[in-house]
Amino acid sequence: MDRIGGAVSDLTAATLAGTLRAVVREGWGDSLPTRFAIIGMGRFGGHELGYGSDADVLFVHEPRDGVDEHEAGQAANKVVSEMRRLLQISSADPPLLIDADLRPEGKSGPLVRTLNSYAAYYRRWSLTWESHALLRAEPVAGDEDLGRRFIELIDPLRYRADGLDEEAVREIRRLKARMESERLPRGADPKLHAKLGPGGLSDVEWTVQLLQLRHGSAEPGLRTTRTREALAAARTAGLITEEDAATLDEAWVLATRVRNAVMLVRGRAGDTFPTEPRELAAVGRYLGYGPGHAGDMLDAYRRTARRARGVVEELFYGVAER
């Protein structure tokens, strides 16, 4: 419980761990009646949290020998409930919101599952989007052996020996299109949306992840939760040219910096450049632009994103023909 994945300060992590230990001792003595691990997902699992990010996670537990599974489940849920409460308390650090919606069955599914329950679900019901989401799965806290065995369970799902068939590729394309149509704010300029716009984070990440899904079994370097590492591995493996890899990498870094700048300037998360002149100028200063050069900043972003979108059009949307 002492390792919280770098998402909170050392002081907050120590306080959280101490409080959780107290909860465990109060209910069950010196040890929890179940092994327990937290699996980072999304940007958390990819070590790519930015200012204002929440933490996508899965919770997995395994009852200790001789412990009733119901009792073990109660203990695991108690720890999760207390951890989420503590991370949202106001302190010197901003609250860290825990999002477990990527778990099997989503919000309607149990918050915490045993390793055997995950195995049964993925064996019978695993969908393409879940294999896609599991590309970012990495143990971040709790029982290391349990976390390792969870990864052993999901590796055959996310790095399939036979890659992806064309129907799965089409499904991934449909999922991306639906996500962007549903989540892009009405009235927002797509060309300046750092997450969902052309050449933004979503474009780069889904392109890299499609390469991972197709070639991860054959190329060990692609088996990473980190976007830039996977992109570099794809370049080394000859799956993408050096020029195209550099274009995607530049766009990803720039879009990430834009989101961080907006959070710092406005005090709340955002994916688009501010429209208020003073805020826009402040974002420009963060990105290295002097007074009066906000227009240059926007033009440079559009150019970078446009070049990245050209690569995405070929690699992601034209992947079946490569």
Q: Is 60 exceeded by the pLDDT of residue 4? A: no
pLDDT at 185: 87
Q: What average pLDDT score do residues 229-251 get?
A: 98
- Classify 281 as helix, strand or coil: helix
Q: Where are the domains of the chain?
A: 10-158, 166-321
CATH fold of 166-321 reads: Four Helix Bundle (Hemerythrin (Met), subunit A) (1.20.120)
- pLDDT-derived band at 70, boundaries 50, 70, 90: very high
- Residues 173, 316 contacting (CB under 8 angstroms): yes
Give tens-digit pLDDT for 298-320: 999 999 999 999 999 999 998 44
Q: Is 60 exceeded by the pLDDT of residue 16? A: no
Residue type, position 63, single letter: P
Give the number of residues written for the chain: 322
pLDDT at 14: 56
Q: What average pLDDT score do residues 232-236 get?
A: 98
- pLDDT-derived band at 144, boundaries 50, 70, 90: very high
Question: For residues 240 and 228, what is the distance between their CA atoms, to the nearest angstrom?
Answer: 13
- pLDDT-derived band at 51, boundaries 50, 70, 90: confident
How high does pLDDT run on average in the chain? 89
Identical fold for domains 10-158 and 166-321, yes or no, is: no
pLDDT at 32: 84
Q: Is 70 exceeded by the pLDDT of residue 12? A: no
pLDDT at 285: 97
pLDDT at 84: 87
As given in the structure block, the two tokens for residue 89 are 């308390």
- Residues 163, 217 contacting (CB under 8 angstroms): yes
- Alpha-helical segments (H) within the chain: 10-28, 42-45, 69-87, 115-125, 128-133, 144-158, 166-183, 201-215, 227-236, 242-266, 277-286, 294-315
Q: Is 70 exceeded by the pLDDT of residue 63? A: yes
Question: For residues 147 and 139, what is the distance between their CA atoms, to the nearest angstrom?
Answer: 5
CATH fold of 10-158 reads: Beta Polymerase; domain 2 (3.30.460)
Query: Measured over all CA atoms, what is the biggest interatomic distance in the chain, rounded to whole angstroms?
Result: 69
Of 126-135, 196-205, 256-265, 305-314, the range with the lowest mean pLDDT is 126-135
Of 75-89, 228-242, 283-297, 298-312, the range with the lowest mean pLDDT is 75-89
pLDDT at 2: 34
In DSSP terms, which residues pair with 98 in a beta bridge?
55
Q: Is 70 exceeded by the pLDDT of residue 153? A: yes
